[in-house]
Amino acid sequence: MSSNSSNPHRSLELYSFSEQHFEKHHLRSLTELDEILDTEKKYWLNIHKSNQEEIFKEVCTYFDLHPVVLDDIDNTDQRPKLEDFDNFILIVSKMLYTKSDIEHLEIEQVSIAFNKNIIITFQENEYDIFDPLRTRLENPNGKMRKYGTDYFVYTILDAILDQYYVILELISDQTEKLEDDIVNDMKKVRLADIYKQRKSLQEIKKIIWPTRELISAWRKSDSHFITKRSTPFINDVYESAVEIIENLEMQRESITTLVEIFMTNISLKQNEVMKTLTIIATIFIPLTFIAGVYGMNFENMPELGWEYGYLSSWIFFLVVSSLMMYYFKRKRWF
């Protein structure tokens, strides 16, 4: 990456392809496009490094994209969406990935503008999402070369959704770990951990719901950039999106259940504590009273002089406490 930092236009890679043809162009400026573009082939222009905003602007102007497109691409808080324009379809989507662990989820916005002949992708960073695409594009027998630009965009969406699966799987693992901990050693679990989990799911939900809407909008779109041939493919991604959402909702429900179990465990614990106290106290408090009685200093206490007085008191203590224990046992307190 360091080697390229001196070349500000390095990010302008153009791939031209058709069923027979595949070529990679390195553009210095957009004006070079005038010579290259022809209607026989399809083109993929990938732009990254969001800091080079001027290029974004130039591209938008060159291809006559609607002014809101630039806003949408620039604003990295944009909700995923699909918008039909006369000359282009714009898709804003979000990639989810994690470099270390699930608590450090990273989100990258990927915008795609495409029409019959050209696909322009806008990336925030140079992440490797498009590498497999390049490989597939080089394969002369792949569907990517044969099918239209919409199939190309479908493969991108498919890759993004696959990534969502991976992330959900990671979260699911953590939820299961929490579940085990709650059952085995409550002390390890803090309610805050459970809620953090819930928050992660909420983050993803915020991304995946509009993504489903996006795909749904694709299915309903009557733009002529979308061929009938790609319908089964996009239906498939749609099914994936629905499944991810269902998975997500099931996990949210699991976490709600975890909170309930956590709370119940606290109650059960408290119950146990109270029982212990009650058993000990109800056994010994009456006995202590009796002991106190025979510790009184009245002059005229006949029992004190009895030969077996002391022994009787011990017998009394044992009988009373045994009866108490029996009572608690029968009440199934322990």
- Asked whether position 243 contacts its own copies by CB under 8 A, the answer is yes
DSSP string, 274-308: HHHHHHHHHHHHHHHHHHHHTT---S--HHHH-TT
Binding of its own copies at residue 303 (CB under 8 A)?
Answer: yes
Q: Which one of the spans 9-17, 51-59, 123-131, 308-316 is the region binding its own copies (CB under 8 A)? A: 308-316
Instruction: Name which position in 35, 40, 298, 330 contacts its own copies (CB under 8 A).
Output: 298
Which one of residues 29, 169, 173, 293 is an interface residue with its own copies (CB under 8 A)? 293
Q: How near is the Cβ of 299 to its own copies at its closest, in Å?
A: 6
Considering only the stretches 5-13, 32-40, 131-139, 284-292, report the one whose residues sit in contact with its own copies under the rule CB under 8 A: 284-292
Let me know: does 119 contact 149? Beta carbons within 8 Å: yes
Q: Contact at 8 Å (CB) between 224 and 116?
A: yes
Angle (CA) 47-159-102 rounded to 5° is 95
295 binds its own copies (CB under 8 A): yes
Residue closer to its own copies (CB basis): 78 or 98: 78
Phi-psi region at 25: left, alpha or beta (left = phi > 0; alpha = psi -120 to 50)? beta
Query: Which range, of 29-37, 51-59, 126-134, 261-269, touches its own copies by CB under 8 A?
Result: 261-269
Q: Per rule CB under 8 A, is residue 319 in the interface with its own copies? A: no
Binding to its own copies (CB under 8 A) within 200-229 occurs at 202, 206
Task: Pull the structure tokens for residue 160.
Answer: 């993004």
Please identify which residue in 10, 25, 57, 81 interacts with its own copies, judged by CB under 8 A. Answer: 81
**Which of 32, 58, 74, 236 lies at the binding interface for its own copies (CB under 8 A)?**
236
299 contributes a contact to its own copies by CB under 8 A: yes
Q: Any contact of residue 85 with its own copies (CB under 8 A)?
A: yes
Applying CB under 8 A, the span of 32-40, 103-111, 119-127, 185-193 interacting with its own copies comes to: 185-193
In angstroms, the Cα distances linking 304 to 290, 292, 300, 307, 314 are 13, 13, 9, 8, 13
Closest separation in Å from C-beta 18 to its own copies = 20
Q: Among 36, 166, 250, 318, indicate the residue that binds its own copies (CB under 8 A).
A: 250
Name residues contacting its own copies, limited to 40-69 (CB under 8 A). 66-68
| 160, 204 contact by CB (below 8 A) | no
Residue 177 engages its own copies in binding (rule: CB under 8 A): no
Q: Give residue 82's region: left, alpha or beta (phi > 0; psi -120 to 50).
A: beta
Q: Is 153 exposed, middle or buried (0-12, 13-18, 19+ CB in 10 A)?
A: buried
Is residue 264 near its own copies by the rule CB under 8 A?
yes
Looking at the Cβ atoms of 32 and 84, the one nearer to its own copies is: 84
Backbone phi, psi, residue 48, to 5°: -130, -165
Reported as half-sphere exposure (CB side, CA atoms, 13 A), residue 101 has a value of 4
As a whole number of Å, the CA-based R_g of the chain is 36
- Binder of its own copies out of 172, 286, 320, 325 (CB under 8 A): 286
Q: Does 187 bind its own copies (CB under 8 A)?
A: yes
User: CB-hemisphere CA count at 13 Å for 120?
Assistant: 25
Select 1 or 296, whichever has its Cβ closest to its own copies. Answer: 296
Among the residue ranges 4-12, 27-35, 40-48, 194-202, the one whose residues contact its own copies (CB under 8 A): 194-202
Residues between 119 and 158 that touch its own copies (CB under 8 A):
143
CA angle 145, 150, 156 (to 5 degrees): 85
Phi, psi of 96 (to 5 degrees): -115, 130
Determine if 246 is a binding residue for its own copies (CB under 8 A). yes
